Amino acid sequence: MTLLNTSVPAGAIGDKARFFAESGYVAFPGLLGNVTPIAEALSRIENAAPRLDGPWIYYEDVADQSGSRSINRIENFIEHDPVLAACAKESAIVDTLRAILGEDVCLFKDKVNLKLPNGGGFDLHQDQQAGWSRYASYFVTAMVAIDPADEKNGCLQVVPGLHNRGLIGTEWEPMKHDDLGGAPLVSIVMEPGDVVFFDSYAPHCSEPNRSMRPRRALYITYNLKRDGDYRERYYADKWASFPPDIAREPGAEYRYRV
């Protein structure tokens, strides 16, 4: 049963590829069409009890002074759900990215940021700052909107064109807005099924969710296939340094940095 579109949209790939090369990101409205199967797969993970051998679930303090905690991120889940595996490996995402880059890609990591009401935002950063250069020199992330995303619930904001400067920020530290040299942030408003591709040197951020609506989004990251397959190594390293909540040592301090 086909759950997702599986072909590159007809026409305009050349224009999209040029925009991506110039801006460091490009949007494909409606690329995945109906994302209900993806949303249902994520809900199954959210509602299941965390397991050491299951998807990695991370929590955050809710910004409403209640002292409660909510799920803010799920990672490393494609082995646990066939719908999510198909989305990451066999959908229009992969076909379109190959067309944009002109070469094949390899899955590097998979996560979803739930950004529930009162959920926190993400500081300005380049993905490459998170120590990714130890694996490969270049990555592209596909962001898939599961819910509508706008400025009220913390949509993605990207700085066009600065990706061509390479690594601007310091590894493991958020960027400063002064680093942008006055370049503006562009808010990417999205509807469910829209996909935005952005490269690992494109500065980006998002504001907290100040609405009563969730802003769930899937982030699937790829490196060039010719650079190798690093997914297993990446998650082994991350388990050692920033494991999911269920695997954390009592009393140990874990800090999300970038």
In a domain, 117, yes or no: yes
Per-residue tens of pLDDT for the chain, all 258 residues: 344 554 555 567 999 999 999 999 999 999 998 999 999 999 999 999 999 999 999 998 876 667 678 899 999 999 999 999 999 998 999 999 999 999 999 999 999 999 999 999 999 999 999 999 999 999 999 999 999 999 999 999 999 999 999 999 899 999 999 999 999 999 999 999 999 999 999 999 999 999 999 999 999 999 999 999 999 999 999 999 999 999 999 999 998 877
Residue-wise pLDDT tens digits, 90-104: 899 999 999 999 999
In a domain, 255, yes or no: no
Cα–Cα dist 21/39, whole Å: 31
From the CA atom positions of the chain, what is the Rg in Å? Answer: 17
In a domain, 3, yes or no: no
What pLDDT sits at residue 2? 42
Please answer whether residues 87 and 81 qualify as being in contact, where contact means their C-beta atoms are separated by less than 8 angstroms: no
Please answer whether residues 93 and 113 qualify as being in contact, where contact means their C-beta atoms are separated by less than 8 angstroms: no
Is the pTM higher than 0.75? The answer reads: yes
In a domain, 126, yes or no: yes
Cα–Cα dist 191/66, whole Å: 30
Please answer whether residues 35 and 148 qualify as being in contact, where contact means their C-beta atoms are separated by less than 8 angstroms: no
In a domain, 4, yes or no: no
Task: State the total domains in the chain.
Answer: 1
- What's 84's domain CATH number? 2.60.120.620
What pLDDT sits at residue 9? 55
In a domain, 256, yes or no: no
Range(s) of the domain holding residue 175: 13-245
Q: Which two tokens stand for residue 40?
A: 């249902």
In a domain, 217, yes or no: yes
What pLDDT sits at residue 62? 73
What pLDDT sits at residue 53? 97
3, burial (CB in 10 Å: exposed 0-12, middle 13-18, buried 19+): buried
In a domain, 65, yes or no: yes
